[in-house]
Amino acid sequence: TGMFTYDPGFLSTASCQSAITYIDGDKGELLYRGYPIEQLATQADYLDTCFLLLNGELPNETERGDFHKLVTNHTMVNEQMQFFLRGFRRDAHPMAVLTGLVGALSAFYHDSTDINNPKHREIAAIRLIAKMPTLVAMAYKYGVGQPYMYPQNNLSYAGNFLRMMFGTPCEEYKVSPVLERALDRIFILHADHEQNASTSTVRLCGSSGTNPFAAIAAGVACLWGPAHGGANEACLNMLEDIQRQGGVAKVGEFMEKVKDKNSGVKLMGFGHRVYKNYDPRAKLMQETCNEVLAELGLENDPLFKLAKELEKIALEDDYFVQRKLYPNVDFYSGIVQRAIGIPVSLFTGIFALARTVGWIAQLNEMLADPEYKIGRPRQLFTGSARRDVPAGFKK
Ligand code: CMC
């Protein structure tokens, strides 16, 4: 069995070469194409970030305008998608709906399904970035039984999404600039994160030559899990649980459970495979949290207080210090999204929307790499040796 390196969870295996995102886990540094996340979050918007991830450089004025126009050209989805959506139960989890809808795009856009054709990939990329907000908002509207709102292309990417989510045909929707900026920042912070589980899934899936929509649907499916994109949902559920049981007064008791290995309880939104320091995205998210809660007059939000208390205790507690467990991006993003009015079950869908560009950039990078091969891990076989089916097993 000594033929292959055994590396469960790929803790020490680099699966590819990549020039997109750099993380220094010890320093707590995150760079997209060399630019620090803190600078992008304050000086660029999400579509600039998409352009950067896809093309390697920030856009100039003309490129910015052209890219915005290109994306907004594709924000509508085929009307037939509505009928597909209607097949779901109203109470379906939005991620169940989203995996279906994104996969179904392959059935609608036949001119962009050849993954080996760079032109096809280019259109598929724009379609996916443009249509994800529409699909997420449709999944939401379907669940609450409201009419779908068509995209409005004179709005920003985040503004359009807010309107499709919370607008109704009955009255004009006024986009709040603070919420728009907050959502845009959530999108930027989630846009890429090198070879995480869902991105590796997209690469592996795409390496078989499947179509780009199918590969991204695989990413959505992987992101759903609570150890990955589902952590923001799990984190908010955890905060609400503690709040129900007595709030800040119960934090000590809860922490004892977290530290007890037999309890099965984790501090959700804490810890990271790569960051062994404060996740820089968590810092930015905490700032945004302050801004949004102030805008909405929710400065005394009990969950925010609770989260800050948990963080304070954890950062001073030996259990967390020794294991280098710090807040990750999900620790505060749920509170921001909840304040904006996004239901908890949609959090991971927002993450998927934002990560789509990262998945595509990584997929493109893989397909352009002359050394790329179909991904095919090996195994260490631990099962039975060769044996015969008993004679007379089935008479
Ligand atoms: N609460 C309590 N203990 C923890 C936590 C936590 N959140 N995270 C890790 N630990 C402990 C873990 O039990 C282990 O202890 P020991 O060495 O005594 O066995 C030690 O810390 C190392 O953790 P690990 O599970 O070996 O680390 P990993 O790299 O396999 O897992 C993780 C990383 C993110 C899955 C894990 O930290 C976790 O489950 N965190 C909570 C879920 C979460 O917030 N996930 C979001 C990740 S960031 C966004 C994203 O990727 O989508």
**Calpha distance 239→199 (Å, rounded):** 28
Could you tell me the distance, in angstroms and rounded to a whole number, from the CA of residue 271 to the centre of ligand 1?
A: 5
Q: Is the CB of 330 under 6 A from ligand 1?
A: yes
Could you tell me the distance, in angstroms and rounded to a whole number, from the CA of residue 306 to the centre of ligand 1?
A: 20
**Calpha distance 23→26 (Å, rounded):** 9
Single-letter code of the amino acid located at 21 = T
Single-letter code of the amino acid located at 88 = F
Q: What is the mean pLDDT of residues 83-94?
A: 95
For all residues of the chain together, what is the average pLDDT? 95
**Calpha distance 352→249 (Å, rounded):** 35
Non-local CB neighbours of 272 within 8 Å, separated by 6+ positions = 25, 279, 326, 328
Q: What is the mean pLDDT of residues 337-356?
A: 95
Predicted pLDDT of residue 80: 95
Q: What range defines the domain where residue 239 resides?
A: 17-76+177-375
Q: Are 58 and 52 in contact (CB under 8 A)?
A: yes
Mutate to test the pocket of ligand 1, among 273, 331, 353, 359 (most ligand atoms within 8 A of CB): 273
Structural domain contains residue 186:
yes
Q: What is the mean pLDDT of residues 142-162?
A: 97
φ, ψ (nearest 5 deg) of residue 32: -100, 120
CA-proximal residue: ligand 1, atom 39 (nearest): 227
Predicted pLDDT of residue 92: 96
Determine whether 185 is exposed, middle or buried from the number of CB atoms within 10 Å of its CB (0-12, 13-18, 19+): buried
pLDDT single digits (tens) 99-132: 999 999 999 999 999 999 999 999 999 999 999 9
Q: Which residues make beta-bridge pairs with 24?
A: 29
Non-local CB neighbours of 391 within 8 Å, separated by 6+ positions = none
pLDDT single digits (tens) 276-309: 999 999 999 999 999 999 999 998 999 999 999 9
Nearest to 50 by CA among 147, 112, 127: 127
Predicted pLDDT of residue 299: 87
2 has a pLDDT exceeding 70:
no
Rounded to the nearest 5 degrees, what angle is found at the Cα of 176, between the Cα atoms of 171 and 181? 140
Non-local CB neighbours of 133 within 8 Å, separated by 6+ positions = 75, 151, 157, 160, 161, 164, 353
330 catalytic? Reply is: yes
322 has a pLDDT exceeding 60:
yes
**Nearest atom of ligand 1 to the alpha carbon of 235:** 44
Structural domain contains residue 110:
no
Structural domain contains residue 280:
yes
ipTM, 2 decimals? 0.95
Structural domain contains residue 125:
no
H or E stretch at 24: strand 21-24
Dihedral angle, C-alpha 39, 40, 42, 46, nearest 10 °: 180
Q: What is the mean pLDDT of residues 185-208?
A: 97
Structural domain contains residue 171:
no
Structural domain contains residue 261:
yes
230 has a pLDDT exceeding 90:
no
Predicted pLDDT of residue 3: 83
Mutate to test the pocket of ligand 1, among 255, 261, 328 (most ligand atoms within 8 A of CB): 328
**Calpha distance 308→141 (Å, rounded):** 32
* Helical ranges in the chain per DSSP H: 37-43, 46-55, 61-72, 80-86, 94-104, 118-144, 157-166, 177-189, 197-206, 212-223, 231-244, 251-259, 280-295, 302-316, 318-322, 330-340, 347-368
The CATH number that applies at residue 57 is 1.10.230.10
Structure-token pair, residue 362: 């990584």
pLDDT single digits (tens) 8-56: 999 999 999 999 999 999 999 999 999 999 999 999 999 999 999 999 9
Q: Is the CB of 268 under 6 A from ligand 1?
A: yes
Structural domain contains residue 67:
yes
Structure-token pair, residue 94: 């939005």
Q: Are 236 and 299 in contact (CB under 8 A)?
A: no
312 has a pLDDT exceeding 70:
yes
pTM above 0.90, yes or no: yes
Structural domain contains residue 143:
no
48 catalytic? Reply is: no
Could you tell me the distance, in angstroms and rounded to a whole number, from the CA of residue 325 to the centre of ligand 1?
A: 8
Q: Are 212 and 124 in contact (CB under 8 A)?
A: yes
The rounded Cα 71 to chain-centroid distance in angstroms is 20
Count up the domains in the chain and report the number.
1
CB atoms within 10 A of CB 329: 24
pLDDT single digits (tens) 367-381: 999 889 999 999 999
